[in-house]
Each structure stands twice: as C-alpha cells, then as structure tokens.
Structure 1
C-alpha cells in the first residue's frame, strides 16, 4: 500500500450535525481491517476531546480516546502552556473545560474560536469570564501591543444539518484589521498542526494522506505540509471546490463522493 497512515477529518467527513454520513461507519472498519494507522483531526472550537469521542461512539464509530482525536483546541492548549500565556477566551462554553488548567487571570493573549454568544455586541459578559465579546478582545489587543492574537482556526464556514454557517475566520479577520495584528493560526491548515498529528504516529508526511471536506484547510493545507489530500463531496464541499486555486499542483490527489469512496481509493493505492 502506498500510504502508511491516514489523517481523517470529523465534521462534514464522518458526520454532519449529529448524524453519521451513510457508509462512514463501515468504511472506517474496512480501513481498520487493513491495519492502516489513523488519527482523527478536527478544527472544532466547541468540543473537548472527551465530548468528541463520546459523540463519535454514540454514532457508531469505534473510536477510543487512546486512539487519539487530535483537535485544534488541544493544540492551542499546548501552545498557551509552552509560551506561558494567559488567554482571554472567545470560545463556545462547551470548549472551556479544555483550558481549566491554563491560568486566565490578567490575560496577555486573545484566543478566538467559534463562540456564537460572544460574536455580537449584545453579549455583555453574562457569565463573567465565560462569555467575552469581540469588543473585549479588541480592547485587550489595543492596550497590549505585544499580546498575541491566536486563532484556533480561521475556517470561513462549517456544515450544519440546516446548511452552511459562518465560521470564526471572518471574526478573526475583523480583529486583525481593527487591532492591526496578524493572527497565529493553530489548527488546519497550519503545517505545524499536520506535523504534530503525524508525530504521534511516527509517519513521515510523504507516506500519509488527509481525508476531508474542506479544500483549503484539509486538502491544500495537508498538501502544503507534504501529505496527499483527498476531498470528499460532503459537508462544506461546494461544486467546483476541487478547482480552487487554479494550478494543477493544488488540485486534490482525489475527489470522491464521500468517506466510503475515499477509503476505496486509499485501499486501491
């Protein structure tokens, strides 16, 4: 087999808004039967690893925490601790437990993820340190020129059962423009994110493949990091995504209808 490991996106690739994509559970079992090491990678900014694993198990995927799900939240937590940063967190309240052991008093950094309650001017710290506004983040960045702006990811959209919804990317851009700051992106498509995920598997990037529904963050991000990239036409996929970026070098290594077809392609290599 050409590949020695697979990185697999979650939302939009294995499931959408609490529903497993048809054929995905069986396809993952086929991949396991082929004894190909897998790592599940996600840019989620609202779910801890424990809650992700629980959701996937409920949907029928035989995934354990030990296997591991590598998320942009956990990567951000590692970064904050390594740099001794005290974050002001603009996150969904469900993600906050991921940062329980990270000091947050007298913040000297801003971390932005998907936080619907925080992304409006009517949300006035209803829960003190839990729900913070974009205005709070801007004022911190303005007052502390050295404070880093950290984006858990800057995805433009994400898929829900009702359709595509606005992701955190536009809000990250708003803070960049207002504060005159460039955000550090932690999750996909940052090359360091893919490298960290593969490091746990002990596999070089040229022997790995990324399967996902986002042509920019999943596929082109992986390709820029040296992996092959497979685009599935589920989740946030839009007609013509496979041609995004024009040059042939940026085209997906394969574009397939869904995760089951991606596994078919992978096992044929």
Structure 2
C-alpha cells in the first residue's frame, strides 16, 4: 500500500484511474461480523485522496441504521447519502408504482413495508428472509405471481459468505418463483443496471469514472462493467478460486481491499 503523505500522496492521486469508488460491503468491507483487515485504512486513504465513495449492498438482513452503526464500530464512518441498499431501491420502486407487496423479508427491513397492507397484496417482494422462505410463504408468493402480480427481487445474488461459511441468498428462490409462475422478476439491487446507474448518478461523475469493488464476479464485477463502470475483484468474501476463469481479463484481481489504491493507480 502506498504511503499517503506529501508528494507521494499527490503522485498517487495523479495516477488514479477513477474519481469515485462503489464499495460492496459484505465480502469487501466485512465478512460476517468481522471487518476485513485493512478495510478501514483503505476507506480513510481513499477519502484523503479526494475520491467520492458510495457503499452499495444487496443486504436485506440489516437496516440502514444498523449498517451505519456497524461500520462505525469498525472505524469506518459514512453518511446516509453514501449508502445505497437494495431495500431502499425497492421501496422507491414500490412507491412509484403504487404497489401493495406481499413481503418475504427479514425483520430488519420489514418495517419499511408494513404499511402497504398485505391483505390486499398486488405484488410480491422477496429478499433474504432466511427461515421465512418456507413452503407456505413461497407458495403464497407463487399464487400471487401466477395471478399476474409482479415479482420484485431485492438483489439476485446466489449466495454470500457468513460467519460459518457460504449461505444461500435470495436469488435461487427468486429463480424458483420465476420458473414456477412463468414470470420475470424486477430486480432492485445488484446486478441491476438501474441500481448501478442510481449510485453513479449520485456521484456526479460518468460511469467510466467510477469503479465498483466487489467479491462477486457476476453481480458486482460483470454487472458493473455492463453498466459502463470500471471494476475490481477482491479475493475475500464469497470469492472462489474457480472464479478466476470467469472474471474478464481486463479486471484487476487483488487479495483484499487493502491493496485497492495501489492497484488502481498502477
């Protein structure tokens, strides 16, 4: 990692290939409940270099307040405007289209949607509800979708890295409903191009001036490239050695976020 002081700082800044960083949280900043070594220092150094930061996540298991508090406990301070979550995007979409969703969500974000009135549901909203994704709840969601209700997905990740290993995310359950009801989900969150465009627009820069840093070669890296951003793959979180065969050749692959600034200035 480059030393950020005096002339070294200025030289590094001149070599940076982007003006804004979009940082995934789970797998990049922290893994489970533990901060990834060097993450806090990398965020601090990026700020010192004047880079605009956005923290983007599909997680529906934590509220915005909890995410910000958890990051603060890891010595990473962020503002509300720097955080972009899939539940936030889903709520904006639901409000815009005046929908009343039947929700399959974890308790941490369920309160955002309780006022819509599920007894008159005309849409399905599915996130990482863990044990809430059971036969009864999924069958109710299937019946609504089969009757024409739109299916809204909070992200399409296949799995994530938890404290005790890889865990299924919401994506496989969304795919099951799509197949059974012969429908196509509206995806709010990564890898949706609209989600990346919303985060990029908030920076004031062009997509090509922004760089996504993620641990998911598909939902983070390839999706960001498709939206016109640059991308970096980290070998933390859900990364698997077999991913190296799938990552586009132009994408830098680094051990962790601790190497980020050096890698994007080379």
Taking structure 1 as the reference length, what is the TM-score of the superposition?
0.89
Q: Which of the residues 250, 254, 257 maps onto 1:256? A: 254
Take 1:252 and 1:99, find their aligned partners in 2: how far apart are those partners? 41
Q: Which of the residues 69, 93, 99 maps onto 1:85? A: 99
- Give the secondary structure class of the aligned counterpart of 1:141: helix
Question: Which stretches of structure 1, 4 residues or more, deviate above 6 A after TM superposition?
Answer: none
Q: Which runs of 5+ in 2 are unaligned?
A: 1-15
For the aligned residue pairs, the C-alpha RMSD in angstroms reads 1.5
Which residue does the alignment assign to 1:76? 90
Take 1:51 and 1:97, find their aligned partners in 2: how far apart are those partners? 14
CA contact (8 A) 1:211 1:232 kept: yes
Which residue does the alignment assign to 1:140? 144
- Give the secondary structure class of the aligned counterpart of 1:63: coil
Take 2:61 and 2:50, find their aligned partners in 1: how far apart are those partners? 31
In the TM superposition, residue 185 of structure 1 has moved relative to its aligned partner by 1.2
In the TM superposition, residue 261 of structure 1 has moved relative to its aligned partner by 0.8
Q: Which runs of 5+ in 1 are unaligned?
A: 125-132
Take 1:208 and 1:102, find their aligned partners in 2: how far apart are those partners? 36
Take 1:235 and 1:171, find their aligned partners in 2: how far apart are those partners? 21
CA contact (8 A) 1:48 1:97 kept: no
1:97–1:206 CA distance, 2 compared to 1 (3 A): same
Which residue does the alignment assign to 2:113? 99
1:20–1:175 CA distance, 2 compared to 1 (3 A): same
**1:57 and 2:72 correspond:** yes
Take 2:244 and 2:99, find their aligned partners in 1: how far apart are those partners? 38
Taking structure 2 as the reference length, what is the TM-score of the superposition?
0.90
For residues 12-47 of structure 1, give each alpha carbon's deviation from its aligned partner in whole angstroms, at most 9, with x where no partner exists. 000011110011111111111101000000011222
For residues 81-130 of structure 1, give each alpha carbon's deviation from its aligned partner in whole angstroms, at most 9, with x where no partner exists. 01111111111111112325545440100011111122223xx6xxxxxx
Higher helix share: 2
**1:13 and 2:28 correspond:** yes
Q: Which of the residues 173, 176, 191 maps onto 2:178? A: 176
- Give the secondary structure class of the aligned counterpart of 1:251: coil
Which residue does the alignment assign to 1:149? 151
In the TM superposition, residue 5 of structure 1 has moved relative to its aligned partner by 0.7
In the TM superposition, residue 69 of structure 1 has moved relative to its aligned partner by 0.6
Which residue does the alignment assign to 2:197? 195
How many residue pairs get aligned? The number is: 251
